[in-house]
Structure 1
């Protein structure tokens, strides 16, 4: 029976640990970002979300989209928010689709409201 001292088992265990590290780090950055955001520390949240998003965390990508959409700690930028939402969607986060639809439908300040024309047929 192989033990942890067997080279092949020790190698397999090391590979498993290394495979889990990026996911653990991404979760930590996202969770730290949420905690900072809730405390109103938007600069800290931005850094944590940015780090986690760079590692592929879709939740952090969506959070960056929200920050840019709302202008929380960053200049309000709906176009950049949409980019972050698209990245989160590409990672498989369905909630980001709602955010993308909302940010692309919302008129910008000073822009004319879209006009809807109703038609009827006799």
Structure 2
């Protein structure tokens, strides 16, 4: 016996599949950025984090903040680091609050 699925169920499944593929691609860029950073390939990490951050990955936004705060592969820029931390915080990444507090407490 064949089961017929209502049209809304097919649409819902399609939306879930699409959302899952977008989430997977965001994670992939971030994960690749972490791997590159750990290998000392700051140029690759910067590209991966930038791509993931543009797609809204808060972890990548925080990572860009760290890179700019430390000057890893980019010129040291505490003001830009603060901007990235605030973007991550706005998306609910609580650990970026610590980074923001630390970045703004130094002269």
TM over 0.5: yes
**Count of residue pairs brought into register by the alignment:** 105
Runs of 4 or more consecutive aligned structure 1 residues displaced over 4 Å after TM superposition: none
Give the greater-gyration-radius structure (CA): 1
The answer for unaligned runs of 5 or more in structure 2 is: none
The answer for unaligned runs of 5 or more in structure 1 is: 108-122
The structure showing larger relative contact order (alpha-carbon pairs under 8 Å, at least 6 residues apart) is 2
Distance in structure 1 (CA, Å) of the matches to 2:106 and 2:68: 14
3-state DSSP of counterpart to 2:74: coil
The CA deviation at 1:12 is 3.0
How much is the aligned-residue C-alpha RMSD, in angstroms?
1.5
Match of 2:41 in 1: 41
Normalising by structure 2, we get a TM-score of: 0.90
Distance in structure 1 (CA, Å) of the matches to 2:81 and 2:14: 38
Q: Of Structure 1 and Structure 2, which has the larger fraction of its residues in helix?
A: 2
